[in-house]
Amino acid sequence: MAKYQVAKSIDVRGEVCPVPDVETKRALKGMKPGEILEVWIDYPMSKERIPESVKKMGHEVLEIEEVGASEWKIYIKVKG
């Protein structure tokens, strides 16, 4: 089941652009260093955008896991 010790999980499937990006950033802000955030998305553009923008913020992208037809979970480790 759970691959990582996820501290927080958000489900932004179906949300319009750029809500997934914004929600990811909001979630990361409230987290402690080393914690892992799980972001559940279903839009391919989010899969391309979110990892790049969180990397730019200094966080680590552990994995982009394909969990279904056009559905992915991004695991992000908070920097620190």
Partner 1 sequence: MVWTGLLVGAIFGIILQRGRICINSAFRDVLIFKDNYLMKFAALAIALQSITLLLFAQFGVIKLSAMPLNWIANIVGGYIFGIGMVLAGGCASGVTYRVGEGMTTAWLAALAFGLTAQATSGGVLSGWMKWLNKYNITVASNSSVYVSKTGPTLATIFNVNPWIITLIFVVLLLWYAFGTKTSQRETKINWIVAAVLIAILQPIAWWASAASGRNYGLGITGGWTNILSVYTGNKPLNWIGAEVLGIILGAMFIAIVGKEFKLRMPKKPSTYLQVLVGGVLMGFGAATAGGCNIGHFLTGVPTLAISSIVTSIFFLLGNWTMAWLLFGRER
Positions marked catalytic: 17
Cβ-based nearer residue to partner 1, 37 or 51: 51
Q: Nearest 5°: phi and psi at 15?
A: -75, 150
Question: By the criterion CB under 8 A, which residues form the site for partner 1?
Answer: 11, 13-19, 21-22, 25-26, 42-45, 48-49, 51-53, 56, 69-71
Residues 6+ apart with CB under 8 A from 68: none
Min dist CB 5 to partner 1, Å, is 25
Residue 62, sorted as left (phi over 0), alpha (psi -120 to 50) or beta, turns out to be alpha
What is the closest distance, in whole angstroms, from the C-beta atom of residue 22 to partner 1 in the complex?
Answer: 5
Q: Which is nearer to partner 1, 36 or 41 (CB)?
A: 41
What is the C-alpha to C-alpha distance for residues 56 and 1, in angstroms, rounded to an integer?
29
Min CB(32)–partner 1 separation in Å: 20
